[in-house]
Amino acid sequence: MNVFRFAGDMSHLISILVLLLKIYATRSCSGISLKTQELYALVFLTRYLDLLTDFISVYNTVMKVVFISSTVAIVWCMRRHPVVRRSYDRDQDTFRHYFLVGGSLLLGLIFNDRFTVKEVLWAFSIYLEAVAILPQLVLLQRSGNVDNLTGQYVFFLGAYRALYILNWIYRYFTENHYSRWISWIAGLVQTGLYADFFYYYFLSWKNNVKLQLPA
């Protein structure tokens, strides 16, 4: 495992830990999109089906279980926790995320490496992950002001994908390893969606002011 892959995994893990910290410390999920969390839960559940059939390493298994369980726990808190769910911005989190699910499923059925259930679901999860952040970004734009923990959550989530692209480039030149074209396209799209957020995040950090996104 190279440094970019490990850094990407840690960035992804930190993003989830930051989100859990926000919910636990403030007893609030204000500014967090439930729809994005549900999309990520669907991504992990469909991508990591190999947990039931293949063993790669302890590290690989633990990370997959952590991503699934933590994301499902966040969804549960936002939907069922008697205190947390009252802070959910339902009126602003109105992105029609089922269009993202339908579009990703259609792409998965058409563009895949092999037309098997496992491969179609894997491709579906890759396409869906590329756009799963959209409801969250739209919610942040509508709310304007972004609290520090929410901003850090989105930043680390975006950094994870950027680091994975560096991982693919590194492996191509050092190991002659070719990542699947589906991953490349989806990864570039996903990273591109964060570009605007990264710009305003950098400005807020540079000027030491609270992060604000234009409506």
pLDDT, one tens digit per residue, over 123-155 is 999 999 999 999 999 998 887 767 888 889 999
What residue numbers bound the domain in which 97 lies? 3-203
Ramachandran class of 144: left when φ > 0, alpha when ψ lies in -120 to 50, beta otherwise: left
Number of folded domains that form the chain: 1
Quote the percentage of the chain above a pLDDT of 70: 95
Nearest to 90 by CA among 31, 147, 130, 12: 31
Structure tokens at 187: 């990864």
pTM of the model as a whole: 0.90
Residue 209 resides in a domain: no
Alpha carbons within 13 angstroms on the beta-carbon side of residue 57 total 4
C-alpha separations of 177 from 135, 147, 160, 170 in Å: 34, 40, 20, 9
Residue 215 resides in a domain: no
Phi, psi angle pair for 46, to nearest 5° = -85, -25
Residue 192 resides in a domain: yes
**Helix, strand, or coil here: 212?**
strand
pLDDT number for residue 75: 96
Rounded Cα gap, residues 12 and 14, in angstroms: 5
